[in-house]
Structure 1
Amino acid sequence: MSKINRYVFVLWGERFEEAAAAIFVTELRKAGLLVKLVGLDSGHLSGANGLKLLPDLTLGQALLRATQAICVIFPCRSADIQPFNHDPRLREFIGQAQASGARFIIKSAAELEDFELGLCPMVYPEGEALLEFAAELAQVLSAMQ
């Protein structure tokens, strides 16, 4: 029987936090996890500080792997997700990942109930504590593989 690949998806949208996205992608890949940066819009999206990151997958491509999600990371505040609130693909992606037992991580969950998905995400810290958080997350997710 072949092993099922489990993915960590780092979502990437306009004005998301590029430093957090880069830290999560780098630290989790260093730990040997399959990490994909997922573009919520087409093209090269600029982060909160103007840095453009090239996604590995489009949201449509990630949707095909949503049931293989072990973790979904939103490198942003929940308010930054609101422009995507009515995208049925994102709702389906999150629903499938949630049904598969994926963990959800975000910077601030204060307004996430407005997204109406019933998520209970972990909240990641800011600044230097983010590196330690990402390293600890890598250990937890590696143990779940």
Structure 2
Amino acid sequence: MYKDSTVKALMSKSSEYIFVLWASDFEERVAATFVAELRQAGLLVKVIGLTPGVLSGAHGLALVPDLPLSKALALAAQISCIIIPTTPTHLAPLKNDPRLGELLERAYAHGARFVVGPPICADKTITAVIPAPVEEIILYPEGQALSLFVQELIGLFLEKIDS
């Protein structure tokens, strides 16, 4: 899809990260789609483990985080986007972790955008977790439309890098 030279140029031009948050029972198909396609485009993507260890998603697929939440905090000023591939039910218990709140607040203060699934944005409890106003939160679609959405998102990131 993207030429090797384009990927190398992107990686050298951008020092901003896209974080995909990961915890037990999160949606692994959504997480894997974002991670694989964004990395293939040459963007700096890190899977952030919200709890220690190898974590299994909602359907039993285990993903190994690139960084634990504690180390991700140091990169908060360099985050351009945080993707949260889960439902409010599985995110709600994590809102009590002050480190997650700190990461989201710091990232938002430095201009990071948040990408969440429709069930999250519709849920009122998400405003207690994500510091951005609901109208600034980007919704990813469910099902087969996800891959097309990720390609559109890649286009936006590439435009930002080129400008």
Q: TM-score when scaled to structure 2?
A: 0.83
On the 8 A contact 1:67/1:97 being kept in 2, the answer is yes
Higher strand share: 1
8 Å Cα contact 2:56-2:62 kept in structure 1? yes
Q: How high is the sequence identity, in percent, across the aligned residues?
A: 46
List alignment gaps of at least 5 residues for structure 2: 1-11
1:81 partnered with 2:95: no
- Larger of the two Rg values belongs to structure: 2
Q: In angstroms, what is the RMSD of aligned CA positions? A: 1.6
**Quick check: 1:113 aligned with 2:123?**
no
Higher helix proportion (structure 1 or 2): 2
Three-state SS of the structure 2 residue aligned to 1:65 is helix
2:17 is matched with 7
Report 1:1-145 matches (<5 A). 5-107=15-117, 108=119, 109-111=121-123, 112-115=126-129, 117-120=131-134, 121-145=137-161
Gaps of at least 5 residues in structure 1 are none
Task: Provide closer, same or farther for how the CA distance between residues 139 and 4 of structure 1 changes in structure 2, counting only shifts above 3 A.
Answer: closer
State the shift of 1:86 in Å.
1.0
1:21-66 deviation digits (Å, cap 9, x = unpaired): 0000011111110000000000011100011100000001111101
The 3 A distance-change label for structure 1 pair 30 and 74 is same
Distance 1:124 1:116, change over 3 A: closer
Task: Determine if contact 1:71/1:102 at 8 Å carries over to the other structure.
Answer: yes
Q: Secondary structure of 1:38's match?
A: strand
How many pairs were matched up? 144
Of structures 1 and 2, the one scoring higher in RCO (CA 8 A, sep 6+) is 1
Q: Deviations over 1:86-145 (max 9, x none)?
A: 111000100011011111011131221243634431111011100000111111012222
Displacement of 1:3 in angstroms is 6.3
Using the alignment, how far apart are the partners of 1:35 and 1:143 within structure 2? Answer: 17
Amino acid at match of 1:110: A
